[in-house]
């Protein structure tokens, strides 16, 4: 790596299982250049950028970034404040529940900026990107273009030396795409020393970069300036150059695509699709407003518009998947009816995302859909489609493992399997390489021209839109222009359809062009004060207070007016209190940033917040009132063969007890057995003849009692109650009659030291508190981490200076606070609602409870390290917490009675020790000193769980 190199790679290889992502990649990128990495999905672009950004772990080879070997852990920690990384996907590094300003505040805290510096930089970036009017809008409600602008703001907030953007404009409309690149150009003009790496599948975008890297199948095809690459291949554009550089087998038979003219439509023919004043409202929001157009049979009709403009909603109304609030949609001359199966058979639909069954093979997917449509000639149709779309080499391959282009061909084959007359395609070629994309369009054109199939397609590729017979541009729920591509271009006097689209969009929005947009405050001449935006107060610019001869010039100022970040700025007047927090040492600011962000997300997620606040209350009521071991009001049935005053008194002895309730007398032994069998009685009593006579003569009478033993624990309790009542009745009756009964040699009288009333509530409530505090807090903590994995924001852990301990503790703190609140609530419920008083130390109970929830939330974090989906996290945490808590922690039987692994498992689980603490405080009246051993035992789990979580949580993706 030369001193002037920003990035240098040598011999880099990377694999995912048996799939090769990168193969012997060598690259040297000079400082201050802009480089576009181009190629279709799956060729290794994201892997390459992930390695450079430190997000991915190096498997083989050497990667040096800004003079640092990224395989060195300490080197990465010092390097990360100098890199900005935007992962692939709209807003993947953002947090949807946070507002624009809150997202920026979070990233500012992660990179150690103090409050004043954060406010100044946020104000500058919002104004320069046009987001200043929207600081309080949640990121999840931004359009695709606005999300990418916000993601760029978050990336630039700490003033990086290397900016890495992974397909930042994929899925973004042409206007937002142009605005995004003009913004990048202005930033680079202000910071010529910043290196920019961008992955893109839009070949036209790559033309504006200093250099291009072309990739295919994990290898570099070319690395040079765009002009040099085109000259080398003799191509007119980069798309042609890319095709020319592909291996021979990949481009065999490739020809430039030409679209034959559409045959004239028969006079008076019914249109395939007709929209008449279509409107769709969601509450007060109008997603589609008064949309009207018609699509003729056999026509290829393109549908373009900005993200969120209503394209998908319109498509769903046209297919009957969504009812219209007003207006009418007609298919083949008939009103759209969602229940009309015959009309549905005439329509084929292909979603943007791969919507087939990934675990099935190509053959199985085709066969399944043939069965769903009950095709009589399924075999011949399948054979023809497999041959037509070149699926024979992949016929027994699992769909998830197919190349993207082959997957799209399979999706199209399934969509036309039943011979539809109308084909609706939602961005079908996103991420597909040029060769596969042209082949796909050849198939569409053949369907249209040879078979008369009407094709309704949405796309963001303007060269694809130009192939359509007509296109419609949509903005803010309205169709703003419609007609043949050349006619639309002429209406705007534009050189390309892309320029025509932007012209129509700007007319519709009445917005300023990028050229007329006001420059950021720092680009204006003369001293100034940074303009304020809503939610970001205006503050004086500290640079204005520094004499010019004292300003370090090692780093040129950014176009947005941001000063270099303290972690890599020269020492001098610009040093900041946050400078010490940019490295790898423990940072309270970064920890609290994650805690603050998690708290905001939790407050704005009604489902998680409800579970966190009310889940324990509801379960406490269920366990407290619904699960009891007390024997009260149990029904019993009697068959009295004796019918004497003594037998009736015996029955009244049971009926007068609070434990038992009499049912009507049984008529015979069969009736008695049936009542027990049907559950109408929990026990039956059969009194034989001579019961009263034996009692009067001083004999001990016998009674047949049968108990329902389906629940053994309760049956044992019933047996004890019956024995006690029987013995007391016999003794009282003998005493009243003046006779003496035989006595046993010795008797045992039971006296309970604790819970003298033998109420199950006094035993259940303290145990339930321990059970609920390990169950719900652990699940919530686990979901907090796994949710980041699912949404992709876990990348912020990989590429920012935050340490694993800071990340875990920051995620944990809000759930500790919630669990502590639930602890206090359950203690209050125990005392006031269930009448279970705290006989021992309340301080000891609360202190032990606080330590316990720290341990249980740490356990949830540890479980989250090993799970990647929220479903797995919920089930995994439930099993890992509930099973040992109920079976091995002393809730059902003392831990000392367990043996082997069960005893070890119970001893090494925190609930075991908290149950002793809880029962000791509630029931046994133990003081703080007596509770201290249980508190310390519970506390020992906290560092163990956290240390394991830190050890197993990866700081890089593999």
Q: How far apart are CA 82 and CA 66, in angstroms?
A: 9
155 and 285 share a domain?
no
| Of the ranges 403-417, 567-581, 740-754, the best mean pLDDT one | 403-417
Domain closes at, from 702, 737, 772: 737
Say what the pLDDT of residue 508 is. Answer: 80
Residue 543 lies in a domain: no
38 and 111 share a domain?
yes
602 and 663 share a domain?
no
696 and 771 share a domain?
no
Residue 101 or residue 202, greater confidence:
101
Residue 258 lies in a domain: no
For 309, the token pair is: 């403009």
CA 773 to chain centre: 24
Residue 160 lies in a domain: yes
Residue 362 or residue 183, greater confidence:
362
CA 507 to chain centre: 38
Looking up residue 337, the CATH number of its domain turns out to be 3.40.50.300
379 and 327 share a domain?
yes
Nearest to 676 by CA among 661, 690, 666: 666
pLDDT, tens only, 333-351: 888 876 777 777 788 888 7
789 and 669 share a domain?
no
pLDDT of 910 above 90:
yes
Domain closes at, from 196, 221, 246: 221
Integer-rounded Cα radius of gyration of the chain: 37
Residue 59 lies in a domain: yes
143 and 291 share a domain?
no
The answer to whether the CB of 99 falls within 8 A of the CB of 138 is yes
Domain closes at, from 678, 702, 737: 737
141 and 198 share a domain?
yes
Say what the pLDDT of residue 844 is. Answer: 94
Q: Order the strands of the 273-282 sheet from edge to edge.
A: 285-295, 273-282, 326-331, 334-335
204 and 341 share a domain?
no
Say what the pLDDT of residue 411 is. Answer: 84
Say what the pLDDT of residue 571 is. Answer: 35
DSSP 150-215: HHHHHHHTT--SEEEEESTTTT--HHHHHHHHHHHHHHHHH-TT-EEEEEES-HHHHTTSSEEEEE
594 and 657 share a domain?
no
| Structural domains of the chain, count | 4
> What kind and span of H or E run contains 396?
none
Residue 245 lies in a domain: no
Say what the pLDDT of residue 864 is. Answer: 92
Say what the pLDDT of residue 538 is. Answer: 35
Say what the pLDDT of residue 876 is. Answer: 92
Domain ranges, residue 469: 275-509
495 and 605 share a domain?
no
Length of the chain, in residues: 958
Cα distances (angstroms) measured from residue 150 to each of 509, 560, 662, 702, 708 = 20, 14, 73, 86, 67
Q: How far apart are CA 382 and CA 396, in angstroms?
A: 14
Strand partners, 214: 38, 222
Q: What angle, 0 to 180 degrees and rounded to 10, lies between the N-to-C axes of helices 174-190 and 144-156?
A: 20
Among all chains, which residue has been given the structure tokens 């973004």? 172
Say what the pLDDT of residue 540 is. Answer: 37
CA dihedral 769, 772, 778, 784 (to 10 degrees): -110
Looking up residue 690, the CATH number of its domain turns out to be 3.40.1710.10
For 569, the token pair is: 């700025």
Least confident of 142-146, 210-214, 473-477, 875-879: 142-146
Residue 686 lies in a domain: yes
82 and 168 share a domain?
yes
pTM of the model: 0.74
pLDDT of 470 above 90:
yes
Nearest to 143 by CA among 191, 165, 176: 176
Residue 52 lies in a domain: yes
Residue 174 or residue 597, greater confidence:
597
Residue 259 lies in a domain: no
Q: How confident is the model at residue 673 (pLDDT cuts 50, 70, 90)?
A: confident
Least confident of 172-176, 221-225, 886-890: 172-176
pLDDT of 750 above 60:
no
pLDDT, tens only, 603-633: 888 888 888 888 888 888 887 666 555 567 7
């Amino acid at each position: 790596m030369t001193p002037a190199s920003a990035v240098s790679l040598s011999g880099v290889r990377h694999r995912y299982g048996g799939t090769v992502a990168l193969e012997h990649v060598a690259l040297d990128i000079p400082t201050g250049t802009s480089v576009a990495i181009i190629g279709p999905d799956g060729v290794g672009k994201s892997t390459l950028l992930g390695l450079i950004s430190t997000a991915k772990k190096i498997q083989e080879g050497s990667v040096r970034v800004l003079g640092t070997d990224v395989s060195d852990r300490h080197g990465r920690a010092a390097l990360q404040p100098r890199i900005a990384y935007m992962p692939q996907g709209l807003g993947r590094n953002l947090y949807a529940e946070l507002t624009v300003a809150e997202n920026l505040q979070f990233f500012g805290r992660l990179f150690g900026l103090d409050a004043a510096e954060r406010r100044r930089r946020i104000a500058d970036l919002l104004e320069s990107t046009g987001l200043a009017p929207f600081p309080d809008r949640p990121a999840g409600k931004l359009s695709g273009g606005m999300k990418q602008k916000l993601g760029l703001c978050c990336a630039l907030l700490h003033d990086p030396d290397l900016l890495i953007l992974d397909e930042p404009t994929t899925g973004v409309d042409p206007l937002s795409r142009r605005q995004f690149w003009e913004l990048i150009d202005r930033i680079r003009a202000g910071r010529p020393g910043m290196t920019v790496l961008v992955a893109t599948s839009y070949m036209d975008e790559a033309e504006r970069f200093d250099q291009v890297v072309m990739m295919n199948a994990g290898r570099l095809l070319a690395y040079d300036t765009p002009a040099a690459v085109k000259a080398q291949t003799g191509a007119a554009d980069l798309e042609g150059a890319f095709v020319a550089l592909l291996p021979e087998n990949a481009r065999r038979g490739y020809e430039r695509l030409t679209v034959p003219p559409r045959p004239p439509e028969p006079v008076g023919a019914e249109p395939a699709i007709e929209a008449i004043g279509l409107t769709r409202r969601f509450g007060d929001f109008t997603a589609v407003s008064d949309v009207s157009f018609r699509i003729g049979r056999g026509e290829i009709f393109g549908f373009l518009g900005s993200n969120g403009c209503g394209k998908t909603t319109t498509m769903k109304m046209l297919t009957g998947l969504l009812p219209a609030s007003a207006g009418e949609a007609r298919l083949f001359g008939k009103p759209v009816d969602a229940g009309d199966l015959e009309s549905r058979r005439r329509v084929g639909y292909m979603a943007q995302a791969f919507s087939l069954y990934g675990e099935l093979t190509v053959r199985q997917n085709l066969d399944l859909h043939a069965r769903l449509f009950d095709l009589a000639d399924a075999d011949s149709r399948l054979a023809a489609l497999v041959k037509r779309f070149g699926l024979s080499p992949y016929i027994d391959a699992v769909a998830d493992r197919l190349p993207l282009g082959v997957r799209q061909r399979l999706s199209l084959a399934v969509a036309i399997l039943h011979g539809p007359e109308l084909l609706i395609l939602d961005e079908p070629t996103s991420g597909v390489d040029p060769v596969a994309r042209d082949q796909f369009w050849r198939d569409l054109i053949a369907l249209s021209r040879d078979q008369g199939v009407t094709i309704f397609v949405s796309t963001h590729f303007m060269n694809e839109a130009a192939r359509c017979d007509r296109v419609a541009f949509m903005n803010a729920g309205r169709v703003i222009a419609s007609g043949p591509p050349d006619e639309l271009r002429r209406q705007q006097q534009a050189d390309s359809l892309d320029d025509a689209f932007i012209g129509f969009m700007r007319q519709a929005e009445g917005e300023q062009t990028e050229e007329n947009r006001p420059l950021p405050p720092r680009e204006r001449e003369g001293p100034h004060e940074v303009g304020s935006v809503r939610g970001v107060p205006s503050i004086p610019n500290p640079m204005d207070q520094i004499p010019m001869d004292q300003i370090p010039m090692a780093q040129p100022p950014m176009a947005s007016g941001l000063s270099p970040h303290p972690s890599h700025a020269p020492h001098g007047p610009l040093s900041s209190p946050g400078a010490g927090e940019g490295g790898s040492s423990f940072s309270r600011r970064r920890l609290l940033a994650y805690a603050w962000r998690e708290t905001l997300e939790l407050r704005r997620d009604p489902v998680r917040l409800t579970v966190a606040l009310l889940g324990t209350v509801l379960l406490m009521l269920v366990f407290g009132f619904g699960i009891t071991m007390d024997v009260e009001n149990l029904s019993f049935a009697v068959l009295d063969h004796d019918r004497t005053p003594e037998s009736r008194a015996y029955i009244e002895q049971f009926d007068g007890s609070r434990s038992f309730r009499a049912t009507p007398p049984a008529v015979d032994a069969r009736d008695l057995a049936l009542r027990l069998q049907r559950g109408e009685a929990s026990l039956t009593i059969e009194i034989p003849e001579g019961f009263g006579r034996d009692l009067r003569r001083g004999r001990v009478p016998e009674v047949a009692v049968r108990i329902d033993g389906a629940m053994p624990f309760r049956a044992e309790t019933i047996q004890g109650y019956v024995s006690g009542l029987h013995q007391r009745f016999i003794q009282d009756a003998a005493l009243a009659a003046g006779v003496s009964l035989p006595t046993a040699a010795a008797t045992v009288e039971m006296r309970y030291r604790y819970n003298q009333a033998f109420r199950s509530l006094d035993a259940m409530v303290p145990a339930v508190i321990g059970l609920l505090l390990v169950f719900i807090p652990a699940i919530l903590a686990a979901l907090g981490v796994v949710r980041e994995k699912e949404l992709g924001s876990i990348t912020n852990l990989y590429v920012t200076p935050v340490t694993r301990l800071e990340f875990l503790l920051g995620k944990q703190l809000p759930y500790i606070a919630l669990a502590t609140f639930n602890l206090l609530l359950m203690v209050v419920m125990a005392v006031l609602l269930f009448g279970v008083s705290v006989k021992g130390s309340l301080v000891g109970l609360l202190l032990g409870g606080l330590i316990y929830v720290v341990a249980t939330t740490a356990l949830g974090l540890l479980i989250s390290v090993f799970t990647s989906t929220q479903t797995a996290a919920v089930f995994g945490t439930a099993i890992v917490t509930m099973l040992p808590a109920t079976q091995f922690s002393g809730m059902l039987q003392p831990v000392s009675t367990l043996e082997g692994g069960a005893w070890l498992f119970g001893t090494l689980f925190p609930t075991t020790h908290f149950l002793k603490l809880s029962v000791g405080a509630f029931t046994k009246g133990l003081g703080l000193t007596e509770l201290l051993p249980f508190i310390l035992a519970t506390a020992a789990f906290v560092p163990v769980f956290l240390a394991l979580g830190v050890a197993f949580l990866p700081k890089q993706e593999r």
